[in-house]
Structure 1
Amino acid sequence: MENFMNIYTVTVAVAIATVLIWTFKGLIYRKLYTRYSAWILNRLTVSLDTAYVSHKKRLFQIVEDYKNRQNGDLKILELGVGAAPNLKYVPDNSEITLLDPNPHFTKHAEENIVDARKRLKSVEWMQGVAEDIPSQSNTFDIVFCTLVLCSVVDVKKCLSEIHRVLKPGGMFVFVEHVAAEKNTWKRFVQTFMDPVHYVLYDKCSVIRDTETYIRASSLRDFQIENFHSTLYYWITPSIAGIATK
């Protein structure tokens, strides 16, 4: 009887907790989870940047070459800026807009933004999502993101918005971890880890076939490199590249 009462008490407690979490999930996400996400992803910023540094440098050299061909300074948009570790790669005298849905990243990005303002024309922070970019069409020379398309809600809508805000001839620059090939051991591990990543890292999916989405978009002239990063085993498959409008 005592065991039954213990089980009953635990069951009721779990049921009540579940109902409360479900009822107030919006408030919990806004007040607590967004703070946690900014904190944990900021903690990972250095290791993530280091894992992709060579590919970022190569891509931003292409951006620099594009600037020289344009014979003028660039207007740039970064999606999912996080703690803003990519600002150091941006060409001098650029005007850059930083877009992120999580307002709690601003304090983590502050130091990088202050440093960037010493050599860039302007640095503007905007809160928003990549599926609904709060900018006019044909605005930016460059749109770039790193490790962002893994966590957007609607990849197709995001890519459509990127195409919309790019100027004709403008470039989309990206570095992303992606799904491993199907029917491989790594893909099996990814499938197992995917729910964990979704919860711990703000909707991050490790089984998203991002390259297929990019190639199916309205962008063109794809230059995409497949490689393996130095991150955890289940998120090493990666792509880096550019596409143009």
Structure 2
Amino acid sequence: MYIAEVTGLLSFYKRVFPLFIYTFTYKYNDKMNDSKRELFRNLEKFYPPKGSLRILEVGCGSGANFEHYPTGCKITCTDPNPHFQKYLKKTMAKNDHLVYDSFIVASGENLKAVEDNSVDVVVCTLVLCSVNDTPKVLQEAKRVLRPVSS
């Protein structure tokens, strides 16, 4: 990584990778559409007693999951690569059934910009295989989730 950073390859990679993912997302979603529909079909049962469903997507990339979220959800997106925001905005425009709160440049291990107990659902798809500390990501997810009322 150090050599890639010194030679400028890391910066190039961080700029090109989001374009690749944005393009790849369409092919991936075509193949995974039924599986994603099944994965996200129960999101509505997590709605709070009042208000809209608040979703935090960790490692949002270019927003590949947005089309599967229920109408009116409030989405907060995080990704450690700030260059995803350009492609995220394109996906947001295609999914106007959602309300977009913010894009936060942050790794899953450090979600300090997200308040405790502030979201109803945390989504991490194709992310946990690429983080440095999976238990820390899960700890952060638990911290930001609202307590379940019985």
Could you say which TM-score interval applies, normalised by the shorter chain?
Answer: 0.7 to 0.9
Gaps of 5+ in 2: none
- Describe the superposition over 1:130-166 as per-residue Cα deviations: whole angstroms up to 9, x where unpaired: 0001211111000012111111111111111111111
Task: Provide the residue aligned with 1:127 in structure 2.
Answer: 105
Task: Provide the residue aligned with 1:90 in structure 2.
Answer: 69
Is this contact kept in 2: 1:60–1:90, CA < 8 A? Answer: yes
Is this contact kept in 2: 1:113–1:123, CA < 8 A? Answer: no
Q: 1:58 aligns with which of 27, 32, 38?
A: 38
* Distance in 1, Cα, partners of 2:90 & 2:77: 14
What secondary structure sits across from 2:52 in the alignment?
A: coil
Q: 1:81 aligns with which of 56, 60, 71?
A: 60
Query: What are the residue-to-residue correspondences of 1:5-16 with 2, within 5 Å?
Result: none
What secondary structure sits across from 2:75 in the alignment?
A: strand
TM-score by length of structure 1 reads 0.54
Gaps of 5+ in 1: 1-20, 171-245
**Deviation for aligned residue 1:72:** 3.8
What secondary structure sits across from 2:131 in the alignment?
A: coil
Query: What are the residue-to-residue correspondences of 1:20-169 with 2, within 5 Å?
Result: 22=2, 25=5, 28=8, 30-67=10-47, 70=49, 72-116=51-95, 118-133=96-111, 134-169=113-148
* Distance in 1, Cα, partners of 2:13 & 2:34: 32
What secondary structure sits across from 1:25 in the alignment?
A: helix
| Structure 1 consecutive aligned stretches of length 4 or more whose deviation exceeds 6 Å | none
Report which of the two has the higher share of helix: 1
Report which of the two has the higher share of strand: 1
- Describe the superposition over 1:54-99 as per-residue Cα deviations: whole angstroms up to 9, x where unpaired: 22212222002333x7464111100111111211111112211011
Is this contact kept in 2: 1:75–1:96, CA < 8 A? Answer: yes
* Distance in 1, Cα, partners of 2:142 & 2:36: 21
**Which region of structure 1 is more displaced relative to structure 2, 139-148 or 52-61?**
52-61
Is this contact kept in 2: 1:76–1:95, CA < 8 A? Answer: yes
- Corresponding pairs, count: 148
**How well do the aligned residues superpose, as a CA RMSD in angstroms?**
2.3
* Distance in 2, Cα, partners of 1:52 & 1:91: 18
Is this contact kept in 1: 2:46–2:120, CA < 8 A? Answer: no
**Deviation for aligned residue 1:120:** 2.5
What secondary structure sits across from 2:62 in the alignment?
A: coil
* Distance in 2, Cα, partners of 1:119 & 1:128: 25
Task: Provide the residue aligned with 1:14 in structure 2.
Answer: none
- What percentage of aligned pairs have identical amino acids? 31
**Which region of structure 1 is more displaced relative to structure 2, 44-53 or 81-90?**
44-53
